[in-house]
């Protein structure tokens, strides 16, 4: 009877061990390991609090993985991104004997508050938050040698000091810096991992192209105490094709439209006034739209130079017609020699041993030597001088505008404002 009972006990024990979720030897061992490493563990003390003063520095290795970078704002001078912030350090108090071949201990989020963690904060943060759906997006792994791997998903907006002198052909360097709030460099040190920043392949910027990332150290001295700090520069180059299509080309077309005024007859007052005012108002709207999303900085930007020049050309086109109109109004004030056919004819001649030239403008025949062309212009009728101003403007305005564009594009495509600041 006794052997029969032993058999039943063995069968029941084996059945319990095969129940899903039942405590196996490995579960009991993992629970024991967790109980052992946290027995007497005090998270208020740093991992090397009991070491000699020269050996109390905890080295924290940092790495960030940028999951998405969805906004770069020139008006607010900031950028927004979602990332995985990772930290790794050694806490010898969390060592354990790996009898069961555990690669690592993956702690439940309820145990996160029991582990000592570096007091890291983001120096250039405007606002940020941790994700907590469906549970806090954090991870803590403990390895047999006491290495602690911490990771958290963070989304935030961070300050970026931008230099917009070359906008929209600029390249921006946005900083991301982390610092210890309470620990000095005597007890803590931050270092970047071999790959300081990694970026998801799916990231696409609507206006920028990511050129490179540059890691650096930025230890800060506050009241004689040096605090650990590290940072990374995220180099972004602006794609200016949008601005060429939406701002520069329309502005050039508006300037060219203002030149149509020079080909209209000076007597067409309503047409020339309407066209001049239309181009000025359109250029004003275009210029205001180009600066709508930009901060009110005290320096001049590349786009400001171009828009101001286009506005000047359009305005001078309107002023040119005002001058032409003034010339035309003098037509009735000057006496004219009336021929039998009723037409005005002025024929001053001068012979000084030079070549005789004849200029015909609206039935006005003027013969003069090269030394007395100014006298020729003075003897023109008012309508003739007005049309001469229009003819000169037809060539002068386009030539000056083309020369300006050549200098503008060569200068801003080769200029690097960051180099001027460094010198």
If DSSP states are collapsed to H, E and C, what string results for the chain? CHHHHHHHHHHHHHHHHCCCCCCCHHHHHHHHHHHHHHCCCCCCCCCCCCCCHHHCCEEEEEEEEEEEEEEEECCCCEEEEEEEEEEEEECHHHCCCCCCCCCCEECCHHHHHHCCCCCEEECCEEEEEECCCCCCCEEEEECCCCEEEEEEEEEEEEECCCCCCCCCCCEEEEEEEEEECCCCCCCEEEEEEEEEEEECCCCCCCCEEEEEEEEEECCEEECCEEECEEEEEEEEEECCHHHHHHHHHHHHHHHHHHHHHHHCCCCCHHHHHHHHHHHHHHHHHHHHHHCCCCCCCCCCCHHHHHHHHHHHHHHHHHHHHHHHHHHHHCHHHCCCCECCCCCECCCCCCCCCCCCEEEECCCCEEEECHHHHHHHHHCCCHHHHHHHHHHHHHHHHHHHHHHHHHHHHHHHHHCCHHHHHHC
b vs e for 257-284, b when ≥16 Cβ sit within 10 Å of the residue's Cβ?
Answer: bbbebbeeebeeeeebeebbeebbebbe
Neighbour count for residue 111 (Cβ, 10 Å): 13
CA distance 235 to 214: 8
- The per-residue pLDDT for 296 is 87
CA distance 324 to 385: 8
Contact 333, 327 (CB under 8 A): no
Considering the entire predicted model, what is its pTM? 0.74
Split the chain (423 residues) into runs of 10 and give each run's mean pLDDT.
40 37 52 82 87 87 91 90 94 84 84 91 92 89 92 94 93 93 92 90 82 91 92 93 94 95 87 91 91 88 95 93 83 49 46 43 46 56 82 94 97 82 51
CA 415 to chain CA mean position, Å: 17
- The per-residue pLDDT for 41 is 87
- The per-residue pLDDT for 359 is 43
- The per-residue pLDDT for 54 is 79
Contact 317, 397 (CB under 8 A): yes
- In order of their start, the domains of the chain are 36-239 (2.70.170.10), 242-333+356-422 (1.20.58.390)
| Cis upstream peptide for 168 (omega within 30°) | yes
Per the listing, tokens 């931008």 go with 162
Which residues have a Cβ under 8 Å from the Cβ of 224 and sit 6 or more positions away? none
CA distance 174 to 69: 12
The tokens of 213 are what?
């990332």
Phi, psi of 387 (to 5 degrees): -70, -30
Sign of the torsion formed by the C-alpha atoms of 411, 416, 418 and 423:
negative
Closest CA to 155 of 126, 135, 186, 182: 126
Which residues have a Cβ under 8 Å from the Cβ of 349 and sit 6 or more positions away? 356, 367, 368
- The per-residue pLDDT for 377 is 56
CA distance 410 to 203: 32
């Amino acid at each position: 009877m006794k052997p029969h009972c032993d058999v039943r006990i063995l069968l029941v024990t084996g059945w319990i061990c095969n129940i899903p979720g039942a405590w196996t030897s490995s579960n009991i061992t993992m629970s024991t390991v967790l109980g052992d490493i946290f027995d007497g563990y005090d998270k208020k003390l740093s991992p090397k609090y009991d070491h000699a003063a020269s050996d109390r520095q905890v080295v924290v290795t940092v790495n960030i993985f940028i999951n998405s970078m969805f906004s770069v704002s020139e008006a607010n001078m900031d950028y927004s991104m979602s990332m995985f912030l990772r930290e790794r350090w050694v806490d010898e108090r969390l060592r354990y004997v790996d009898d069961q071949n555990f690669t690592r201990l993956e702690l439940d989020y309820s145990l996160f508050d029991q582990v000592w963690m570096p007091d890291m904060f983001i120096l250039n943060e405007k606002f940020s938050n941790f994700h907590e759906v469906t549970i806090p997006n954090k991870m803590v792994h403990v390895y047999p040698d006491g290495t602690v791997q911490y990771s958290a998903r963070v989304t935030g907006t961070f300050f970026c000091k931008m230099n917009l002198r070359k906008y929209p052909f600029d390249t921006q360097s946005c900083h991301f810096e982390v610092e210890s709030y309470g620990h000095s460099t005597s007890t803590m040190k931050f270092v970047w991992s071999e790959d300081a920043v990694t970026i998801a392949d799916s990231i696409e910027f609507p206006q920028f192209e990511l050129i490179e990332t540059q890691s650096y150290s930025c230890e800060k001295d506050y009241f004689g105490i040096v605090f650990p700090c590290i940072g990374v520069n995220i180099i972004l180059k602006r794609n200016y094709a949008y601005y060429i299509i939406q701002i520069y080309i329309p502005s050039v077309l508006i300037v060219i439209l203002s030149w149509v005024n020079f080909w209209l007859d000076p007597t067409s007052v309503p047409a020339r006034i309407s066209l001049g005012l239309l181009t000025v108002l359109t250029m004003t709207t275009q210029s205001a739209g180009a600066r709508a999303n930009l901060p009110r900085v005290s320096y001049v930007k590349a786009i400001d130079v171009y828009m101001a020049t286009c506005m000047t050309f359009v305005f001078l086109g309107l002023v040119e017609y005002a001058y032409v109109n003034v010339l035309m109004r003098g037509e009735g004030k000057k006496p004219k020699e009336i021929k039998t056919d009723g037409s005005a004819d002025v024929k001053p001649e001068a012979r000084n041993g030079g070549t005789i030239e004849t200029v015909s403008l609206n039935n006005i025949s003027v013969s003069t030597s090269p030394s007395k062309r100014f006298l020729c212009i003075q003897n023109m009728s008012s309508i003739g001088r007005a049309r001469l101003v229009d003819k000169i403007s037809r060539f002068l305005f386009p030539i000056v505008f083309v020369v300006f564009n050549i200098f503008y594009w060569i200068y801003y495509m080769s200029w690097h404002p960051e180099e001027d600041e460094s010198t």
